[in-house]
């Protein structure tokens, strides 16, 4: 199995053990996708981690967009904005950087 | 990262491609690990005596499902199916011709289960099940979305999907499962939905939705969860809670229920319509998932069970629930719970009922008012989802599964155009992501397989300026969001049928103090008169 900074990741690049997550790992994962993590990225990543801590799952896209809109301004509360930060999808790419498991299902 | 590949160009007319052997050769999707195999009762890894296990499993399947044996024996290689598969048309790999894909399985069946194949294997194309063959099974049976378009054109009515299901069942039995399906099934049968959405998260998501609708419309549309004694239990794909554009369809269902004034609920124990047990061909696992719905219906004492916009959920519900769980009719006399459920359900309604049937019925009875101009900015076409189109019915009338969704769309929207006749209704082209293929590691075949549908869509875009694609299946919606931009379409053009309903429906506003005062005043005036 592959690893990122010593932390084991699965074939899709998600952390195997969520406890391994560090900010450095997120930065490294993003680099692999040619993304420099900006403050805006961190706003989303931190929200994802907080939500996961409370509910043990990633938020629904609508919950995420609404929350980001509320906290950081209405113009940011839409999926187009989130896709501009995470081109592979805020759900999948965002969750990966945040050390969350990959959302599964018909999504 | 994923390998590079060319995105097919959209031709003006669909033509049979020149074959390109080995175009889709490969290792197939990610394999399931022990972690996901064991909870489903499958070996954690490829077993040592896998050949023996596989042949025994094939023997079991051919006796258990007579249809499988008939389909394996009946093919005469006429070739009618060869150019009917979207994956062949999009990839040009000859092993994606339905007959050739089935023959990977059939040749092994011949070798072990027919007289000629046992003694004269070369004469009848019988082959041994070796490592190479098993790898081919894994790769190519995960390039079939079980959409059954080829079956429509087969003069013998061979249901290729059943062969794909059988092959996947054998693969699971030897410990070679697919990660995407099996990981999801683990969540579905333990947590109750494919996402693994626990009750508090679901409740919170629904509350959020209620808040949003009230803010937008001023109407308190509710999304009840686990309400005992409600009339209707809605079983919808969990993507409706989670993903875009699905959630706008869920908003539509809620508005329709609100206007009808019916009591309804969803269940946190069975918050999933999708049933991937069908995709992997496992009756037992399909039943496990379906039994959660039966338990929810019994516990909540509902009198109606309704299914949201999910293609294969409707197939499982419409075609299999009655024997799997006892919704509708057909429960065995010794199955106490199935009998109980049948007595509990209200026989004046179809059981189960599709949300489209429900909305259609309300429209017919004049119970809903619409402002169709709300959708005037759109020109809409409808994508028939394969499982709805080729495995179910709606409304109890011939072709109702094609008619009802279109009637609902036309009732809420002025501009509707159908795509070319050979690509819709019973001949509909799969979205390219069905049957357990909706995973990133299969993106190449998903994009190539979407080509025929995209071609038909492009034609109506050119001829009628179609800018909205409607589907009533969670998989189709997710797949289209991903593949549309690859073919120069707007990814946001895909919507739920109930999103259009949601946009046009006229909601009764709660009476304000002013209007109540007016009513009171009028009443007083009447008294004076």
Return the percentage of chain B with pLDDT > 70, whole number: 96
B264 φ, ψ to 5°?
A: -145, 165
Which residues of B have a CB under 8 Å from any CB of A?
30, 180, 183-184, 187, 193-198, 200-201, 204-205, 208-209, 212, 237-239, 241-244, 246-247, 274, 310, 438, 440-441, 474-475, 477-478
Contact A62 B194 (CB under 8 A): no
Q: Evaluate whether ipTM surpasses 0.85.
A: yes
User: Which residues, 6+ apart, have CB-to-CB distance to A19 below 8 Å?
Assistant: none
pLDDT band at B499 (very low <50, low <70, confident <90, very high): very high
Distance from CA of B450 to the nearest CA of A (A): 17
Q: What is the pLDDT of residue B329?
A: 81
Contact B194 A79 (CB under 8 A): no
- In this structure, what token pair is assigned to residue B120? 């004269």
pLDDT band at B505 (very low <50, low <70, confident <90, very high): very high
Q: CA dist B398 to B222, B249, B395, B402, B470, Å?
A: 35, 26, 8, 9, 22
- In this structure, what token pair is assigned to residue B52? 């023996």
Q: CA end-to-end span of chain B, whole Å?
A: 82
Residue-wise pLDDT for B92-118, tens only, equals 999 999 999 999 999 999 999 999 999
CA distance B475 to B117: 40
Q: Are A96 and A45 in contact (CB under 8 A)?
A: no
Give the pLDDT mean for B4-18. Answer: 92
DSSP classification of residue B415: -
Chain A residue with minimal CA distance to B437? A106
For chain B, the average pLDDT equals 95
Considering only CB atoms, which chain A residues are within 8 Å of B312?
Answer: none
Give the pLDDT mean for B474-493. Answer: 97
Does residue B467 carry a pLDDT above 70? yes
Residue-wise pLDDT for A42-100, tens only, equals 999 999 999 999 999 999 989 999 999 998 998 988 888 999 999 988 888 999 999 99
Q: What is the pLDDT of residue B522?
A: 56
Chain B residue with minimal CA distance to A56? B198
Does residue B526 carry a pLDDT above 90? no
CA distance B419 to B484: 16
Does residue B1 carry a pLDDT above 50? no
Contact B440 A12 (CB under 8 A): yes
Residue-wise pLDDT for B19-29, tens only, equals 999 999 999 99
As a three-state string, the secondary structure of chain A is: CCEECCEEECCCCCECCHHHCCHHHHHHHHHHCCCCCCHHHHHHHHHHHHHHHHHCCCCCHHHHHHHHHHHHCHHHCCHHHHHHHCCCCHHHHHHHHCCCCCCCCCC
CA distance B330 to B333: 9
- In this structure, what token pair is assigned to residue B508? 């009764």
Q: Are A35 and A42 in contact (CB under 8 A)?
A: no
Indicate if A95 belongs to the active site.
Answer: no
CA distance B66 to B53: 20
Which residues of A have a CB under 8 Å from any CB of B?
11-12, 55-57, 59-63, 66, 79, 91-92, 103-107
Residue-wise pLDDT for B302-325, tens only, equals 999 999 999 999 999 999 998 898
Contact A104 B243 (CB under 8 A): no
Give the pLDDT mean for B144-169. Answer: 97
Contact B208 A62 (CB under 8 A): yes
Considering only CB atoms, which chain B residues are within 8 Å of A78?
Answer: none
Q: Is the pTM of this model over 0.80?
A: yes
Contact B242 A12 (CB under 8 A): no
Does residue B448 carry a pLDDT above 90? yes
Q: What is the pLDDT of residue B327?
A: 83
Contact A57 B241 (CB under 8 A): no
Out of A75-79, B54-58, B155-159, B168-172, which region has the weakest mean confidence (pLDDT)? A75-79
Q: Are B391 and B275 in contact (CB under 8 A)?
A: no
Choosing among B243, B268, B312, which should be mutated to test the A contact, i.e. which has the most A CBs within 10 A? B243
Chain A residue with minimal CA distance to B474? A106
Chain B residue with minimal CA distance to A65? B244
Q: CA dist B127 to A33, B102, B110, B134, B165, Å?
A: 44, 13, 7, 12, 20
Distance from CA of A29 to the nearest CA of B (A): 12
CA distance A103 to B14: 36
CA atoms within 13 A on the CB side of A18: 13
- In this structure, what token pair is assigned to residue B525? 């005036």
Contact A61 B239 (CB under 8 A): no
- From the list B363, B311, B386, B442, the residue with the least C-alpha distance to B159 is B386
- CA quadruple B304, B305, B307, B313: dihedral sign: negative
CA distance B328 to B326: 6
Distance from CA of B35 to the nearest CA of A (A): 12
Q: Which of B195, B237, B274 sits opposite A57 (nearest CB)?
A: B195
Distance from CA of B476 to the nearest CA of A (A): 9
Residue-wise pLDDT for B319-374, tens only, equals 999 889 888 788 888 989 999 999 999 999 999 999 999 999 999 999 999 999 99
CA angle A92, A12, A6 (to 5 degrees): 110
Q: What is the pLDDT of residue B332?
A: 85
Residue-wise pLDDT for B195-247, tens only, equals 999 999 999 999 999 999 999 999 999 999 999 999 999 999 999 999 999 99
Q: What is the pLDDT of residue B513?
A: 55
Q: Which of B200, B239, B441 sits opposite A107 (nearest CB)?
A: B239
Q: CA dist B325 to B185, B318, B328, B354, Å?
A: 18, 12, 9, 17
CA angle B286, B292, B294 (to 5 degrees): 100
A-B contacts at Cβ under 8 angstroms: 80
Contact B237 A105 (CB under 8 A): yes
Residue-wise pLDDT for B224-238, tens only, equals 999 999 999 999 999
Q: CA dist B352 to B35, B303, B319, Å?
A: 34, 10, 10
Residue-wise pLDDT for B368-408, tens only, equals 999 999 999 999 999 999 999 999 999 999 999 999 999 99
Does residue B49 carry a pLDDT above 60? yes
CA distance B364 to B359: 9
Chain A residue with minimal CA distance to B434? A106
Domains along chain B? 34-177 (1.10.1060), 184-356 (no CATH), 367-504 (3.40.50)
Contact B243 A61 (CB under 8 A): yes
Does residue B517 carry a pLDDT above 80? no
Q: What is the pLDDT of residue B511?
A: 62
Does residue B529 carry a pLDDT above 50? no
Chain B residue with minimal CA distance to A92? B440
Q: Of all helices (H) and strands (E), which one includes residue B494? A: strand B494-496
Whether residue B245 is preceded by a cis peptide bond, meaning omega within 30 degrees of 0, is yes
Q: Can you identify the CATH homologous superfamily of domain A3-97? A: DsrC protein, C-terminal domain (1.10.10.370)
Q: Which of B184, B247, B475 sits opposite A62 (nearest CB)?
A: B247
Q: Of all helices (H) and strands (E), which one includes residue B66? A: helix B66-74
CA distance B346 to B160: 36
Helix B355-364 with B497-504: angle, nearest 10 deg: 40
Residue-wise pLDDT for B249-267, tens only, equals 999 999 999 999 999 999 9
Burial of B119 (0-12, 13-18, 19+ CB in 10 A): exposed
Distance from CA of A88 to the nearest CA of B (A): 10
């Amino acid at each position: 199995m592959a690893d990122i900074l010593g932390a084991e990741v699965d074939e899709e690049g998600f952390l195997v053990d969520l406890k391994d997550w560090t900010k450095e790992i997120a930065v490294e994962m993003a680099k692999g996708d040619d993304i420099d993590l900006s403050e805006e990225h961190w706003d989303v990543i931190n929200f994802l981690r907080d939500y996961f801590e409370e509910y043990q799952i990633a938020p629904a896209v609508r919950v995420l967009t609404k929350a980001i809109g509320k906290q950081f301004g209405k113009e940011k509360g839409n999926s187009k904005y989130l896709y501009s930060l995470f081109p592979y999808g805020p759900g999948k790419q965002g969750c990966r950087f945040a050390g969350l498991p990959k959302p599964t299902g018909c999504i | 990262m994923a390998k590079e590949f060319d995105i097919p160009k959209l031709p003006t007319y669909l033509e049979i491609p020149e074959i390109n052997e080995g175009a889709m050769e490969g290792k197939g999707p990610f394999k399931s690990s022990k972690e996901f195999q064991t909870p489903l009762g499958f070996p954690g890894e490829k077993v040592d005596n896998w050949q023996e296990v596989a042949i025994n499993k094939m023997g079991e399947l051919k006796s258990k499902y007579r249809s499988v044996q008939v389909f394996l024996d009946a093919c005469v290689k006429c070739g009618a199916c060869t150019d009917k598969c979207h994956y062949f048309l999009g990839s040009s790999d000859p092993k994606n011709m339905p007959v050739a894909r089935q023959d990977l399985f059939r040749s092994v069946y011949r070798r072990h289960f027919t007289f000629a194949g046992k003694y004269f294997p070369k004469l009848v194309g019988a082959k041994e099940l070796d490592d190479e063959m098993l790898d081919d099974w894994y790769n190519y049976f995960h390039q079939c979305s079980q959409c059954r378009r080829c079956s429509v054109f087969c003069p013998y009515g061979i249901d290729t999907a059943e062969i794909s299901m059988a092959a996947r069942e054998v693969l699971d039995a030897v410990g070679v499962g697919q990660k995407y399906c099996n990981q999801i099934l683990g969540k579905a049968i333990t947590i109750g939905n494919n996402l693994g959405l626990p009750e508090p998260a679901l409740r919170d998501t629904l509350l959020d939705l209620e808040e949003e609708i009230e803010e937008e419309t001023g109407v308190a549309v509710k999304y009840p969860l686990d309400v005992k004694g409600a009339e209707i239990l809605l079983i919808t794909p969990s993507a409706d809670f989670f993903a875009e554009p699905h959630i706008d369809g869920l908003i539509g269902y809620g508005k329709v229920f609100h206007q009808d004034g019916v009591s309804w609920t969803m269940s946190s124990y069975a918050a999933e319509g999708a049933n991937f047990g069908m995709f992997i061909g496992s009756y037992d696992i399909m039943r496990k998932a379906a039994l959660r719905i039966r338990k929810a219906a019994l516990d909540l004492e509902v009198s109606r069970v309704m299914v949201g916009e999910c293609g294969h959920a409707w197939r499982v519900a419409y075609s299999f629930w009655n024997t799997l769980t006892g919704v509708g009719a057909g429960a065995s006399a010794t199955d106490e719970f199935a009998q109980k459920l049948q007595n509990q359900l209200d026989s004046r309604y179809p059981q189960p009922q599709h949300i489209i049937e429900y909305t259609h019925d309300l429209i017919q009875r004049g119970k809903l008012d619409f402002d169709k101009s709300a959708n005037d900015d759109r020109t809409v076409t409808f994508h028939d989802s394969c499982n709805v189109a080729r495995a179910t019915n709606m409304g109890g009338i011939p072709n109702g599964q094609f008619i009802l969704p279109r009637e609902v769309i036309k009732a809420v929207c002025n501009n509707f155009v159908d795509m070319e006749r050979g690509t819709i209704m019973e001949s509909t082209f799969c979205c390219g992501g069905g049957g357990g293929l909706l995973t990133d590691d299969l993106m190449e075949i998903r994009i190539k397989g979407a080509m025929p549908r995209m071609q038909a869509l492009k034609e109506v875009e050119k001829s009628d300026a179609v800018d909205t694609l409607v589907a009533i299946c969670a998989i189709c919606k997710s797949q289209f969001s991903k593949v549309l931009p690859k073919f120069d379409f707007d990814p946001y053009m895909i919507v739920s049928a109930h999103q259009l309903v949601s946009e046009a429906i006229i909601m009764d506003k709660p009476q304000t103090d002013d209007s109540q005062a007016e009513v009171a005043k009028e009443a007083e005036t009447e008294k004076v008169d």
